[in-house]
Amino acid sequence: MKASLHNKNILLGVCGGIAAYKSAELLRRLQDTGANVRVVMTSGATKFITPLTFQALSGHPVHTDLLDTEAEAAMGHIELARWADLILIAPATANSIARLASGRADDLLTAIYLASNSKKAVAPAMNHVMWTAETTRENIQKLQKNGTEIFGPASGDQACGETGPGRLLEADKLISSCTQLFDTGELQGIKIMITAGPTYEPIDPVRFIGNRSSGKMGFAIAQAAIEQGAIVSLIAGPVSLNTPEHSKRTDVETALQMHQAVMNNIDGQDIFIATAAVADYRPIKPRSQKIKKTDDEFSISLTPNPDILKEVAALDNPPFTLGFAAETQNVKDYALLKLKNKKLQMIAANQVSHSEDEQDTGFNSEYNALQILWNGGEARLERCRKTQLARQLITLLAKRYHEKTTT
Ligand code: PMT
């Protein structure tokens, strides 16, 4: 299973060098991979190629100014920094590299670079003497030390008429280098089953008991696992989300159907991740006809649903299990209880209550924060987009999984 840039948010930074015209082609090629691309230009870049070109190609406004109040109100530099899965600066001039290396934040691109926890890559393009200059070498080393990948440069004829290293890498090479950044293969060939979304428990043909789960967390985890080379089966409750490419998806509606879909296919799975918000109870006897309104009190008798996660963890040869615990109070204590009672390897504790001043997170949000607990350890994953959180979670899970399977 190969990593891809599909659905990755890529912020393309364009700096002021003659190679800036090549970024238009690069933008198109990135879009062809299915990536979502936004463009930020330095003021120097706008002298070589107009923002309008990138706007027309990307279908999005191009960001150029740190102090543009209108742009900041729409998608400001912090939003862009959080949005990006990858910041790719291509071409990066000697001047921009020096500014990034010294931690400057006085234009939009450097501010975003400094404010972002995303993956970062720089594709230098400059005169070969500038590239080999001692100060440029030092600046490049500083960027590498901070985790920035350096793509290129290529050697060959230069715009200045000289020959040597300093040409922007070709789009093909830049794209394959970007793709490799998402292909660390921590779970190469590992089979993972993930439950996601809510369940609907029918009361009558038109009514059900459900919950606010959107499936976004589970689908993001599926995507992150695929990026790491896992073979993913996704058992999804009723959600309206696109199926992550390369996953095998089974749609279910009720807890009983989810239970059956999981138990029928759990054999041979290496890891089981239960993000689904499964109804603990279902109406004993769903009515076959729509219940008519009367003035009388009305009650529904409920019976417990099977605990899918607990059953999987209790199998003779169980997979490595990661459960979720959505709690409104005593989050860590309740999560630890579930870890113990259900005999899990890991649990992700999810605070899902909100006071008015708390930020949007958890159920049906793009964002989440998790406290991951296991026997003898814990880790806190701070609030961020579920897509990014899922990648952090998968890295942690892969580490624990490999530790367990090698002991
Ligand atoms: O879907 P989103 O909108 O993105 O929201 C994500 C989420 C908040 C739903 C998710 O992050 C989360 O916390 N999921 C667990 C929700 C939950 O209801 O947990 P629980 O405490 O009821 O269940 C504990 C664990 O047992 C869960 O892993 C659950 O999947 C599993 N379980 C529970 C009941 C049951 N009958 N079978 C189960 O497998």
CA of 400 from ligand 1 middle (Å) equals 21
- For ligand 1, is residue 199 a contact (CB within 6 Å)? no
SS3 387: helix
Positions of CATH 3.40.50.1950 in the chain: 9-181
362 lines ligand 1 (CB under 6 A): yes
What letter represents residue 221's amino acid? I
Q: Give residue 406's pLDDT.
A: 76
Q: Residue 95, SS3?
A: helix
Single pTM value for the model: 0.65
The listed CATH number (3.40.50.10300, 3.90.1150.10, 3.40.50.720, 3.40.50.970) that belongs to domain 191-406:
3.40.50.10300
pLDDT for the residue 73: 65
What pLDDT, on the 0 to 100 scale, is given for residue 2? 53
**What's residue 340's pLDDT?**
96
Domain with CATH 3.40.50.10300 in the chain: 191-406
Ligand 1 within 6 A of 119 CB? no
- Calpha distance 49→82 (Å, rounded): 26
Per-residue pLDDT, 245: 79
**Does ligand 1 come within 6 angstroms of the Cβ of 201?**
no
| Top CATH class, 9-181 | alpha beta
**15 classed as catalytic:** no
Distance 213 CA to ligand 1 centre (A): 9
Residue identified by tokens 């026997």 is 375
Question: How far is the centre of ligand 1, averaged over its atoms, from the C-alpha of 165 (Å)?
Answer: 54
Please choose, from the candidates 78, 95, 96, the residue with its C-alpha nearest in 3D space to the C-alpha of residue 13.
96
Parts of the chain with a pLDDT under 50: 1
Q: Which atom of ligand 1 is nearest to the CA of 195?
A: 30
Which of 181, 173, 7, 10 minimizes the C-alpha distance to 86? 10
Show the tokens assigned to 293.
């309104």
Question: What residues contact 156, with CB distance under 8 A and at least 6 apart?
Answer: 163, 167
Nearest to 307 by CA among 348, 347, 262, 371: 262
Angle between helices 386-405 and 216-227 (to 10 degrees): 60
Alpha helices of 116-198 — where are they, by DSSP H?
Answer: 128-132, 134-145, 171-181
